[in-house]
Protein backbone atom coordinates (compact mmCIF):
# COMPACT_ATOMS: atom_id res chain seq x y z
CA UNK A 1 0.00 0.00 0.00
CA UNK A 2 1.43 3.36 -1.07
CA UNK A 3 1.10 6.01 1.65
CA UNK A 4 1.89 9.72 1.52
CA UNK A 5 2.58 12.09 4.40
CA UNK A 6 1.80 15.78 4.13
CA UNK A 7 2.84 18.35 6.73
CA UNK A 8 0.62 21.45 6.87
CA UNK A 9 2.68 24.50 7.76
CA UNK A 10 1.63 28.12 8.15
CA UNK A 11 3.88 30.95 9.20
CA UNK A 12 1.31 32.76 11.34
CA UNK A 13 0.55 31.54 14.85
CA UNK A 14 -1.49 33.38 17.44
CA UNK A 15 0.65 32.33 20.37
CA UNK A 16 4.03 32.02 18.62
CA UNK A 17 4.37 33.74 15.21
CA UNK A 18 7.02 32.26 12.94
CA UNK A 19 7.61 29.30 15.23
CA UNK A 20 8.20 26.73 12.46
CA UNK A 21 11.37 28.54 11.37
CA UNK A 22 12.83 28.65 14.88
CA UNK A 23 15.88 26.46 15.40
CA UNK A 24 16.34 23.34 17.49
CA UNK A 25 20.01 22.54 17.27
CA UNK A 26 21.14 23.38 13.75
CA UNK A 27 17.76 22.86 12.02
CA UNK A 28 14.44 24.63 11.92
CA UNK A 29 11.43 23.00 13.57
CA UNK A 30 9.77 22.33 10.21
CA UNK A 31 12.96 20.73 8.86
CA UNK A 32 13.10 18.41 11.88
CA UNK A 33 9.53 17.29 11.19
CA UNK A 34 10.24 16.72 7.51
CA UNK A 35 13.44 14.74 8.16
CA UNK A 36 11.82 12.61 10.86
CA UNK A 37 8.91 11.72 8.58
CA UNK A 38 11.29 10.66 5.82
CA UNK A 39 13.41 8.69 8.31
CA UNK A 40 10.47 6.51 9.37
CA UNK A 41 10.60 4.75 5.99
CA UNK A 42 6.82 4.36 6.15
CA UNK A 43 5.92 6.79 3.39
CA UNK A 44 6.32 6.70 -0.37
CA UNK A 45 6.10 10.48 -0.43
CA UNK A 46 6.63 13.25 2.13
CA UNK A 47 5.88 16.92 1.49
CA UNK A 48 5.27 20.19 3.31
CA UNK A 49 2.16 22.15 2.35
CA UNK A 50 2.67 25.79 3.29
CA UNK A 51 1.18 29.25 2.88
CA UNK A 52 4.32 31.36 2.96
CA UNK A 53 7.39 31.70 0.76
CA UNK A 54 9.78 31.60 3.73
CA UNK A 55 8.64 28.10 4.73
CA UNK A 56 8.61 26.96 1.10
CA UNK A 57 12.18 28.19 0.63
CA UNK A 58 13.29 26.64 3.92
CA UNK A 59 12.19 23.17 2.85
CA UNK A 60 13.39 23.46 -0.75
CA UNK A 61 16.80 24.72 0.38
CA UNK A 62 16.89 21.81 2.84
CA UNK A 63 16.48 19.43 -0.09
CA UNK A 64 12.86 18.57 0.66
CA UNK A 65 9.54 18.65 -1.16
CA UNK A 66 7.25 21.64 -0.63
CA UNK A 67 3.91 22.79 -2.02
CA UNK A 68 2.43 26.27 -1.83
CA UNK A 69 -1.30 26.17 -1.09
CA UNK A 70 -3.36 28.30 -3.46
CA UNK A 71 -6.34 28.86 -1.18
CA UNK A 72 -7.00 30.22 2.31
CA UNK A 73 -7.56 27.46 4.87
CA UNK A 74 -9.00 27.36 8.38
CA UNK A 75 -7.05 24.25 9.42
CA UNK A 76 -4.29 21.88 8.43
CA UNK A 77 -6.64 19.19 7.15
CA UNK A 78 -8.14 21.56 4.60
CA UNK A 79 -4.65 22.68 3.58
CA UNK A 80 -3.36 19.17 2.84
CA UNK A 81 -6.65 18.18 1.17
CA UNK A 82 -6.06 20.82 -1.49
CA UNK A 83 -2.87 19.01 -2.51
CA UNK A 84 -3.91 15.42 -1.74
CA UNK A 85 -6.88 15.46 -4.08
CA UNK A 86 -4.52 15.35 -7.08
CA UNK A 87 -2.27 12.63 -5.61
CA UNK A 88 -2.51 8.94 -6.43
CA UNK A 89 -2.19 7.65 -2.85
CA UNK A 90 -5.05 5.81 -1.09
CA UNK A 91 -3.81 6.85 2.38
CA UNK A 92 -2.68 10.34 3.37
CA UNK A 93 -1.11 11.16 6.73
CA UNK A 94 -1.33 14.60 8.30
CA UNK A 95 1.47 15.45 10.76
CA UNK A 96 1.55 18.96 12.18
CA UNK A 97 4.61 21.10 11.51
CA UNK A 98 5.13 21.78 15.22
CA UNK A 99 5.83 18.11 16.14
CA UNK A 100 9.64 18.00 15.79
CA UNK A 101 10.05 14.64 17.57
CA UNK A 102 7.52 12.57 15.65
CA UNK A 103 8.89 9.11 14.85
CA UNK A 104 8.00 5.63 13.60
CA UNK A 105 6.99 4.34 17.06
CA UNK A 106 4.03 6.74 16.90
CA UNK A 107 3.23 6.30 13.21
CA UNK A 108 3.71 2.58 12.53
CA UNK A 109 0.78 1.43 14.73
CA UNK A 110 -1.45 3.79 12.74
CA UNK A 111 -0.22 2.43 9.43
CA UNK A 112 -0.78 -1.11 10.73
CA UNK A 113 -4.45 -0.33 11.46
CA UNK A 114 -5.00 0.52 7.79
CA UNK A 115 -3.07 -2.57 6.64
CA UNK A 116 -5.29 -4.80 8.81
CA UNK A 117 -8.52 -3.08 7.73
CA UNK A 118 -9.05 -5.14 4.57
CA UNK A 119 -12.76 -4.24 4.42
CA UNK A 120 -11.85 -0.54 4.57
CA UNK A 121 -14.28 0.29 7.37
CA UNK A 122 -11.95 2.74 9.12
CA UNK A 123 -11.88 6.27 7.73
CA UNK A 124 -9.30 7.89 10.01
CA UNK A 125 -6.59 6.76 12.44
CA UNK A 126 -5.02 8.82 15.22
CA UNK A 127 -2.84 8.22 18.32
CA UNK A 128 -3.47 8.82 22.01
CA UNK A 129 -1.33 8.56 25.12
CA UNK A 130 -2.33 7.97 28.73
CA UNK A 131 -2.37 10.97 31.06
CA UNK A 132 -1.00 10.45 34.56
CA UNK A 133 -1.00 13.98 35.97
CA UNK A 134 -4.29 15.34 37.30
CA UNK A 135 -3.31 18.86 36.29
CA UNK A 136 -2.95 17.66 32.68
CA UNK A 137 -6.32 15.92 32.84
CA UNK A 138 -7.92 19.18 34.01
CA UNK A 139 -6.01 21.35 31.49
CA UNK A 140 -8.38 22.61 28.74
CA UNK A 141 -5.43 23.04 26.36
CA UNK A 142 -5.01 19.25 26.37
CA UNK A 143 -7.62 17.42 24.30
CA UNK A 144 -8.91 14.20 25.82
CA UNK A 145 -10.55 11.26 24.02
CA UNK A 146 -12.73 8.33 25.05
CA UNK A 147 -13.15 5.21 22.91
CA UNK A 148 -15.15 2.02 22.60
CA UNK A 149 -13.59 -1.29 23.66
CA UNK A 150 -12.56 -1.74 20.01
CA UNK A 151 -10.66 1.58 20.14
CA UNK A 152 -13.03 3.62 18.00
CA UNK A 153 -13.31 7.24 19.14
CA UNK A 154 -16.56 8.16 20.88
CA UNK A 155 -15.84 11.77 21.83
CA UNK A 156 -13.07 14.35 22.14
CA UNK A 157 -13.17 17.10 24.74
CA UNK A 158 -11.18 19.75 26.53
CA UNK A 159 -12.98 18.71 29.72
CA UNK A 160 -11.76 15.79 31.84
CA UNK A 161 -13.37 12.73 30.27
CA UNK A 162 -14.45 10.30 31.45
CA UNK A 163 -15.66 12.03 34.61
CA UNK A 164 -14.67 9.94 37.64
CA UNK A 165 -17.88 9.83 39.68
CA UNK A 166 -16.80 6.56 41.30
CA UNK A 167 -13.62 7.49 43.14
CA UNK A 168 -12.81 3.83 43.74
CA UNK A 169 -12.62 3.05 40.03
CA UNK A 170 -9.31 3.03 38.16
CA UNK A 171 -8.58 6.47 36.70
CA UNK A 172 -7.83 6.09 32.98
CA UNK A 173 -7.69 9.19 30.80
CA UNK A 174 -6.10 9.61 27.37
CA UNK A 175 -4.66 12.61 25.60
CA UNK A 176 -5.31 12.93 21.88
CA UNK A 177 -2.18 13.52 19.82
CA UNK A 178 -2.97 15.61 16.74
CA UNK A 179 -1.65 13.25 14.08
CA UNK A 180 -4.07 11.75 11.54
CA UNK A 181 -4.07 9.18 8.80
CA UNK A 182 -6.95 9.45 6.31
CA UNK A 183 -8.25 7.30 3.56
CA UNK A 184 -8.16 9.59 0.56
CA UNK A 185 -11.89 8.99 0.05
CA UNK A 186 -12.55 10.25 3.59
CA UNK A 187 -10.27 13.25 3.20
CA UNK A 188 -12.07 14.23 0.01
CA UNK A 189 -15.38 14.20 1.89
CA UNK A 190 -14.05 15.99 4.96
CA UNK A 191 -12.91 19.06 3.05
CA UNK A 192 -16.55 19.73 2.17
CA UNK A 193 -18.02 19.18 5.65
CA UNK A 194 -19.40 22.32 7.31
CA UNK A 195 -18.30 23.18 10.84
CA UNK A 196 -20.41 21.34 13.44
CA UNK A 197 -21.89 22.82 16.59
CA UNK A 198 -19.84 20.50 18.82
CA UNK A 199 -16.66 21.50 17.00
CA UNK A 200 -17.56 25.17 17.40
CA UNK A 201 -18.11 24.79 21.14
CA UNK A 202 -15.06 22.67 21.95
CA UNK A 203 -12.83 24.07 19.18
CA UNK A 204 -11.77 20.53 18.27
CA UNK A 205 -11.73 19.79 14.55
CA UNK A 206 -12.20 16.01 14.72
CA UNK A 207 -15.63 16.44 16.34
CA UNK A 208 -16.72 17.49 12.86
CA UNK A 209 -15.67 14.05 11.60
CA UNK A 210 -17.66 12.22 14.28
CA UNK A 211 -20.67 14.43 13.65
CA UNK A 212 -20.67 13.28 10.03
CA UNK A 213 -20.35 9.58 10.85
CA UNK A 214 -16.65 9.07 10.22
CA UNK A 215 -15.02 6.10 11.98
CA UNK A 216 -11.86 7.14 13.84
CA UNK A 217 -9.69 4.32 15.15
CA UNK A 218 -7.28 5.23 17.94
CA UNK A 219 -3.94 3.65 18.83
CA UNK A 220 -2.24 3.93 22.22
CA UNK A 221 1.29 5.24 21.97
CA UNK A 222 3.97 6.87 24.05
CA UNK A 223 4.33 10.64 24.22
CA UNK A 224 5.64 12.26 21.03
CA UNK A 225 8.12 14.43 22.94
CA UNK A 226 7.30 18.14 22.97
CA UNK A 227 4.76 19.89 20.76
CA UNK A 228 5.59 23.56 20.20
CA UNK A 229 2.78 26.05 20.75
CA UNK A 230 4.57 28.75 22.75
CA UNK A 231 8.10 30.15 23.25
CA UNK A 232 8.18 28.22 26.53
CA UNK A 233 7.54 25.01 24.60
CA UNK A 234 10.49 25.80 22.33
CA UNK A 235 12.78 26.03 25.36
CA UNK A 236 11.46 22.67 26.58
CA UNK A 237 12.00 21.19 23.11
CA UNK A 238 15.59 22.44 22.94
CA UNK A 239 16.32 20.90 26.34
CA UNK A 240 14.59 17.65 25.31
CA UNK A 241 16.62 17.57 22.09
CA UNK A 242 19.96 17.97 23.88
CA UNK A 243 19.05 15.38 26.53
CA UNK A 244 18.11 12.87 23.84
CA UNK A 245 21.54 13.28 22.22
CA UNK A 246 23.53 12.72 25.41
Helix/strand/coil (H/E/C) assignment for every residue in the chain: CCEEEEEEECCCCCCCCCHHHCEECCEEHHHHHHHHHHHCCCCCEEEEEECCHHHHHHHHHCCCCEEECCCCCCCHHHHHHHHHCCCCCCEEEEECCCCCCCCHHHHHHHHHHHHHCCCCCCCEEEEEEECCCHHHHHCCCCCEEEECCCCEEEEEECCCCCCCCCCCCCCCCEEECCEEEEEHHHHHHHCCCCCCHHHHHHCCCHHHHHHCCCCEEEEECCCCCCCCCCHHHHHHHHHHHHHHCC
Q: Quickly state the pLDDT bin for 56 (edges 50, 70, 90).
A: very high
Q: Which residue has the higher pLDDT, 118 or 246?
A: 118
* Segments making up each domain of the chain, as ranges: 1-103, 119-223
| pLDDT for 244 beyond 90 | no
| pLDDT for 246 beyond 80 | no
Q: Quickly state the pLDDT bin for 191 (edges 50, 70, 90).
A: confident
Average pLDDT over residues 14-35: 92
Q: What is the pLDDT of residue 47?
A: 98
Q: What is the pLDDT of residue 11?
A: 87
Lowest mean pLDDT among 74-78, 170-174, 230-234: 74-78
pLDDT in tens, 132-148: 999 999 999 889 999 99
Give the domain 119-223 fold.
Spore Coat Polysaccharide Biosynthesis Protein SpsA; Chain A (3.90.550)
Q: What is the pLDDT of residue 161?
A: 97
| pLDDT for 225 beyond 80 | no
What percent of the chain is modeled with pLDDT above 70?
Answer: 99
| pLDDT for 37 beyond 80 | yes
Same fold across 1-103 and 119-223: yes
Q: What is the pLDDT of residue 125?
A: 98
Name the average pLDDT for the chain: 93
Average pLDDT over residues 154-170: 95
Give the domain 1-103 fold.
Spore Coat Polysaccharide Biosynthesis Protein SpsA; Chain A (3.90.550)
Amino acid sequence: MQIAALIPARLESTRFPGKLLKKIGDKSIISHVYDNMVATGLFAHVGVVCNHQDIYDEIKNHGGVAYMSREEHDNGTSRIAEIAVDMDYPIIFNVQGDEPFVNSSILKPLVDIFLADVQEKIDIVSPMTQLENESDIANPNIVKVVTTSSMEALYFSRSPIPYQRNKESQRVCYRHIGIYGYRKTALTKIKNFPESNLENQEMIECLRYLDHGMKIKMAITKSQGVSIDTPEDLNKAINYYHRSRE
